[in-house]
Amino acid sequence: MEVSALKPPVAARKSVGKTGVLIVNLGTPDSPSVPDVRKYLREFLMDGRVIDIPATPRFALVNGIIAPFRAPKSAKIYRELWQETGSPLKYYGHIVEHDLQKALGEDYVVKLAMRYQSPSIDASLDAFQQMGLTDLVVVPFFPQYASASTGSVYQKVMTIVKDWQVIPAIRFVNRFLDHPGFIEGFAQIARKYMAAYDYDHFLFSYHGLPERQIRKGDVTKTVCQLGDCCGTLHAMNQHCYRAQCFETTRLLVRALNIPEGKYTTSFQSRLGNDPWIKPYTDDMIKTMPGKGINSVLAFSPAFVADCLETTIEVGVEYKELFEEAGGKHWQLVESLNDSPIWIETLVDLVTQA
């Protein structure tokens, strides 16, 4: 029998159902009110992949200390961030949901979800379950893999679908820091500012993680030194969040032709007293004017949509810190948000999954 005779006709191989596409970002409070912010913080910080300590002390820490005392301060900051359209992260999420659906076409169903708060992963997956999907593609909106972000999305999705009687083929996008569209998307925004101003320095600030989480990710217990081991991305450190961040910087530096010595990679958003991955962004900023750095173009390439950590922390708070130290000019490179190249990148990630 000829091999070709074993192949069914093309029409018989064509999928009879649709592909679900679940795009997932971290989340945002439903409003900048203190109760809504407290509710968000409790759900976020009670995740055992975010605060990776046993459940009982985590419950006491979050509900007895962090949420009650941090919520009023965070609510004030969220009020600065909030627009007439609401949270920028959710606003851009819905636009991307619409634009990605249009770009992918009728063979796909795209739904936005947030890991914490609404729209929830539970609700989106429940809707998918009723559709008789052929398969499901899950795209966490985190360029670099980390247990506390991408890993948490994986766990949440699998916890829900494990109880389904019929589970479709599921594919996860693990990371996309090296996707040409992701890199070029940030580069396009940066070139606009670089054409208008000659910056002394370029800062690449990423969301931080506790050092213990990075070490726990080294399953060999021999690679991670939280230092020069992040100088290249290779098979043994490819899932290390810190190493992925340094690789993201290298790719952006190459795309923008930034000379050696004119850029810094650092980490922001520390919480608690345990050591977090270094160098710390706020410490780096304080020293820059004293080194003759009077103008900085700042990137936050751990985020694909503008949020509190980009617009407020990097764009406002770090600008003030820089100016207090004697700096003159600070500019934030906005996130990809709903840019056409971001939609094109997502189409490629979904179809290649």
How many residues comprise the chain? Answer: 353
| Residue 63 pLDDT > 70 | yes
Mean per-residue pLDDT, 3-14: 42
| Residue 43 pLDDT > 60 | yes
Task: Note whether 122 and 237 are same-domain residues.
Answer: no
Which domain range does residue 284 map to? 180-332
**Confidence band for 15, pLDDT divided at 50, 70 and 90:** low
Task: Note whether 278 and 243 are same-domain residues.
Answer: yes
Task: Note whether 317 and 301 are same-domain residues.
Answer: yes
Could you report the per-residue pLDDT of 78-127, keeping only the tens digit for each?
999 999 999 999 999 999 999 999 999 999 999 999 999 999 999 999 99
Task: Note whether 153 and 185 are same-domain residues.
Answer: no
Residue 95: per-residue pLDDT: 98
Asked, for residue 68, whether it belongs to a domain, the answer is: yes
**Confidence band for 3, pLDDT divided at 50, 70 and 90:** very low
Task: Note whether 318 and 345 are same-domain residues.
Answer: no
Asked, for residue 6, whether it belongs to a domain, the answer is: no
Residue 338: per-residue pLDDT: 98
Could you report the per-residue pLDDT of 207-257, keeping only the tens digit for each?
999 999 999 888 777 777 777 788 899 888 899 999 999 999 999 999 999
Rounded to the nearest 5°, which phi and psi values hold at 24?
-130, 125
Task: Note whether 193 and 283 are same-domain residues.
Answer: yes
| Residue 4 pLDDT > 50 | no
Could you report the per-residue pLDDT of 119-136, keeping only the tens digit for each?
999 999 999 999 989 999
Task: Note whether 131 and 261 are same-domain residues.
Answer: no
User: What is the share, in percent, of the chain residues with pLDDT greater than 90?
Assistant: 86
Could you report the per-residue pLDDT of 298-336, keeping only the tens digit for each?
999 999 999 999 999 999 999 999 999 999 999 999 999
Asked, for residue 271, whether it belongs to a domain, the answer is: yes
Task: Note whether 165 and 242 are same-domain residues.
Answer: no
Rounded Cα gap, residues 268 and 74, in angstroms: 16
Rounded Cα gap, residues 284 and 297, in angstroms: 14
Rounded Cα gap, residues 107 and 105, in angstroms: 6
Residue 132: per-residue pLDDT: 86
Could you report the per-residue pLDDT of 127-186, keeping only the tens digit for each?
999 998 999 999 999 999 999 999 999 999 999 999 999 999 999 999 999 999 999 999
Average pLDDT, whole number, for the chain? 93
CATH code for the domain in which residue 253 is found: 3.40.50.1400
Neighbours of 159 (CB within 10 A): 11
Report how many domains make up the chain: 2
Residue 220: per-residue pLDDT: 79
Nearest by Cα to 211 from 227, 222, 235: 227
Q: Is the peptide bond before 279 cis (omega within 30 degrees of 0)?
A: yes
- 3-class DSSP string for the chain: CCHHHHCCCHHHHCCCCCEEEEEEEEECCCCCCHHHHHHHHHHHHCCCCCCCCCHHHHHHHHHHHHHHHHHHHHHHHHHHHCECCECHHHHHHHHHHHHHHHHHCCCEEEEEEEEECCCEHHHHHHHHHCCCCCEEEEEECCCCCCHHHHHHHHHHHHHHHCCCCCCCEEEECCCCCCCHHHHHHHHHHHHHHHHHCCCCEEEEEEECCEHHHHHHCCCCCCCCCCCHHHCCCCCCCCCCHHHHHHHHHHHHHHHHCCCCCCEEEEEECCCCCCCECCCEHHHHHHHCHHHCCCEEEEECCCCCCCCHHHHHHHHHHHHHHHHHCCCCEEEECCCCCCCHHHHHHHHHHHHCC
Residue 349: per-residue pLDDT: 98
Rounded Cα gap, residues 346 and 335, in angstroms: 15
Task: Note whether 345 and 318 are same-domain residues.
Answer: no
Asked, for residue 14, whether it belongs to a domain, the answer is: no
Residue 231: per-residue pLDDT: 87
| Residue 2 pLDDT > 70 | no
**Confidence band for 7, pLDDT divided at 50, 70 and 90:** very low
Asked, for residue 46, whether it belongs to a domain, the answer is: yes
Burial of residue 202, with CB atoms counted within 10 A of its CB: 0-12 exposed, 13-18 middle, 19 or more buried: buried
